[in-house]
Structures are given as structure tokens and as C-alpha cells.
Amino acid sequence: MVLGFPTALLAAFSALVVSPAAVRAADLESALAGQANLTTFRGLVKNHTDIFANLAKGVTIAAPNDNAFMKLGNWNTYNESTVAATLKYHILKQIIDMPSIIKGDSVWASTSLTDENFKVTGGQRLILTKQPGGEVVFTSGFATRGTVLTEDLPFDNGLVQVIDSVMRVPETLESTARSAYTDLTAFVGALYATGLMSEVAQQKDVTIFAPRNAAFQQLAGAFADMDDETLKRILRYHIVPGQLSHVWELKNSSSLASADKGNKVSITRHTNFIYVNSAEVIQADILISNGLVHMIDNVLSPDKAGARPDVTLTTAQSPVFTPVGATATGTGEPTPFASDLPCTASCPAARPTGRLNGAGTGEGDVERPSSSNAGVALPRCTGLAGAGVGIGLAVGAVMVGL
């Protein structure tokens, strides 16, 4: 105490006189320097004093090790603004020590990535989940996950957690569907086809229940002659604006107000299963820049808000729409809307046809893939710079916290 006080005072004094940045950054630097294999991250901290020099008190820093940057493969192609956003995404705005995280009760942590482009109140989030073996996993955009290798290293402003992957900043629904969750391309195509894409992209703190492609494909007949207004209502019913609802916030018997004039969707939980109306959540918590997506196995109907699952079924729940005509089984028909996802680059051929014309988007000339194979909803567009590297395509494996 006697020695400590003047030392602290001196530190505070020199901090004021010299530069608070120098003192604090040195403290983070010494915490990092004590660890092997953090060379790249240390270099980034040194080079980005604008981000790290004036850290608030009470933060947690996720520090990817050298192998994490190497695994990423394309770090050197990140431009300055992407690097800055990525670094801010690694700073959690509270102190979270790993032993405090309880199995089955994940932490939904706000980061200092609060730029306007990211429409999540309090900053973009990371999910921290304790695994059965006790290790903690961080989940970021594109289902990129990193395991904590060295936990709770103290430094002046909080704690450092060394992780084995670089966290990916969540991107838009469209970009996420295109490069990591191609099973959502029919849903995104349908948003384009009805001109709803920009409405959804503008929403803040959104929770989206997005049916997978097979759900649309199964109903190809039902969608064939549907008018745009009906389709818009159906799509809006899958979207809950202004209410980020992480999987563990989806409580049994609760309901959420959808963008279809507040028409509610209802949650049912049964053992490890989660249903929205009668559709099953098959992949939860896909982080996007304005909220999150839960993938579901059936299309919801705003006119069947009372639909509930038969939890005794060991097979899939039935769709609430009646499959009609020759497509009753769904097989052999192209997946509706998959071809409405506009091409970004490298399109085999421009083919301006389909619903986009006259759908009120003014985008009738948008290039689109030249074909959509029956039952396969992968648009043939390529040209996504950097996509696919370091992305965990762990579809079906990210049901965390259950």
C-alpha cells in the first residue's frame, strides 16, 4: 500500500504528462508480450493506437494467435477499414472472465464495433458459449468460431482471451447467404423478387426466421401463381424488426411481433427442439450486420399464426401451405426464387426475366444466373472476393447453448 500508492500516482501523473496512450498501450503490450505466438496481433495493436490506446476501463480483448491469422489465408488482402472494423469487433465492452460463463447459458457480448453501417444496438455482438468439455467458444459472423486457448490474462483495462481464429465481422443477410449459408438463397431471392430486400437491410436489431431452400422447393406449386402482395405478407411474417432474439431468448410460449403489421409468431420449446409456429429451427443464431437469423425448415403463413408443432412426431412437421398440383412432393421442380438472387459478377449470361420485372424494384435488368437446377438452389454466380476462406460451413453444427 505504502509503496503502491505513490507508484500508481506516478503512473497516473506520467500518463497525464506524457500520453495516456503510451502507458495503457504498454500495459496491453506487456500482457500480450508475455504470450508466445501473438506477434501479428501485437503488431496490429501497435499500429492501431487510435483503437487500442484509449481503451475504456473494463473491456475484454479477444486476441487471435498467429496461427489464426495464418489460417485465415487472406488477411493481407483486408483493406484498412476492414482491418479497423475487425479489430473493434475483437474488443468486448465488458469484462467477461471465462469461468463465469455457464454451460447452456451463452453470453451475447457487445463489442466496440458500433459504426452506423452495423444496425445492432450497443454494437455488433459475439456469442460466448461454454462447451461440454469446459472450453469457451466465441462465435462471430459467417459462423466463424474460435476456441479460447489461454484465458483471463489480466491487463490494466480488463482481460485478454487468446483465441485460435480471427472473428469475422457479421455482414448483410445477402452476403451471408451468398458466401456461407447458401441454403438461404431462395429466401433472399424472394426478398429481391418482391422488392423487400432494401426494407429488410434497413431494419435494426432484426430477428429473421428464414426458411431453407428445401422449404420453398417443397411449395413450388403453391408459390407459382401467388401475387406479389400475398408473397410480401408471407415474407414480412418471417421478420421481427427491433427485437434481437438470440436462441436462448426464445422462450416457450412466447411470441414476437412480425413485420406483417405486428402479426405474431409463437415459440414452442420441447426438449432440445425449438419451433416457430410449427416450423422447426434447424440452425440458430446466424449473426448478420443488422441482427440475426434462425434458419427454419418450413415456410410460415401469416394466416396460420395458430399453427403449433406436433412435438410427438419423430419426422418433420408438415408445411402449413398445401403443396398443390404435380409438385405435391416437391421433387423435380426448380426452387422458387433461387434464380431471383441477382448476379454480382462472373454471371454466365444475363437473362433478364422473371418476377423482378414489374415487381416494383426497378431492377428488371439485373443479371441473374442462367439456370437453376431442380432442387438445387445454388446460384451460379461467383466473384465474391475472399469469400470461402476461413469460413466455417458448419451447417447444423452451431446449435449452441442448448
Which residue ranges make up the site for ligand NAG (CB under 6 A)?
Answer: 36-37, 40, 43-44, 47, 67, 79, 81-82, 252-253, 268-269, 385
Q: Looking at beta carbons, which residue is closest to ligand NAG?
A: 43
Radius of gyration of the chain (CA): 24
In the bound state with ligand NAG, the residue whose beta carbon lies nearer, of 70 and 102, is 70
CA–CA dist 166, 65 (Å, integer):
8
Parallel/antiparallel/unpaired status of strands 158-163 and 59-64: parallel
| Those residues with Cβ within 8 angstroms of residue 266's Cβ, 6 or more apart along the chain or in another chain | 253, 254, 255, 276, 277, 305, 308
Chain-centroid distance of CA 221 in Å reads 31
Q: Yes or no: say if 293 and 187 are a contact pair by the CB < 8 Å rule.
A: no
Q: Closer to ligand NAG by CB, 84 or 316: give it.
A: 84
C-beta atoms surrounding 89 within 10 Å: 24
In this complex, which beta carbon is closest to ligand NAG, that of residue 81 or of residue 198? 81
Question: How many Å apart are CA 343 and CA 212, to the nearest integer?
Answer: 20
Nearer to ligand NAG, 43 or 332 (CB): 43
Distance, in Å, from the CA atom of 259 to the CA atom of 15, rounded to the nearest integer, reads: 51
User: Pick from 128, 195, 201: which is nearest to 161 by CA?
Assistant: 128
In the bound state with ligand NAG, the residue whose beta carbon lies nearer, of 33 and 224, is 33
Least separation in angstroms between CB 55 and ligand NAG? 18
**CB of 309 or CB of 334, closer to ligand NAG:** 309
CB 355 to ligand NAG: min, Å: 28
Partner residues linked to 50 by β-bridges: none
- Amino acid letter at 204? K
Closer residue to ligand NAG in complex, CB, 121/252: 252
**Cell representation of residue 93:** 465492452
Nearer to ligand NAG by C-beta: 149 or 257?
A: 149
Residue 84: which residues within 8 A CB-CB, separation 6 or more?
48, 50, 51
CB of 94 to ligand NAG, least distance (A): 26
- The x, y and z cell numbers of residue 319, run together, are 408445411
Quote the cell numbers at residue 113.
464495433
Task: Give the integer Cα–Cα distance in Å for 383 and 344.
Answer: 7
- CA separation (Å) from 258 to 21, 200, 265? 46, 12, 7
Q: How far is the CB of 276 from ligand NAG (least distance, A)?
A: 13
Please state the closest distance from residue 153 (CB atom) to ligand NAG, in A.
13
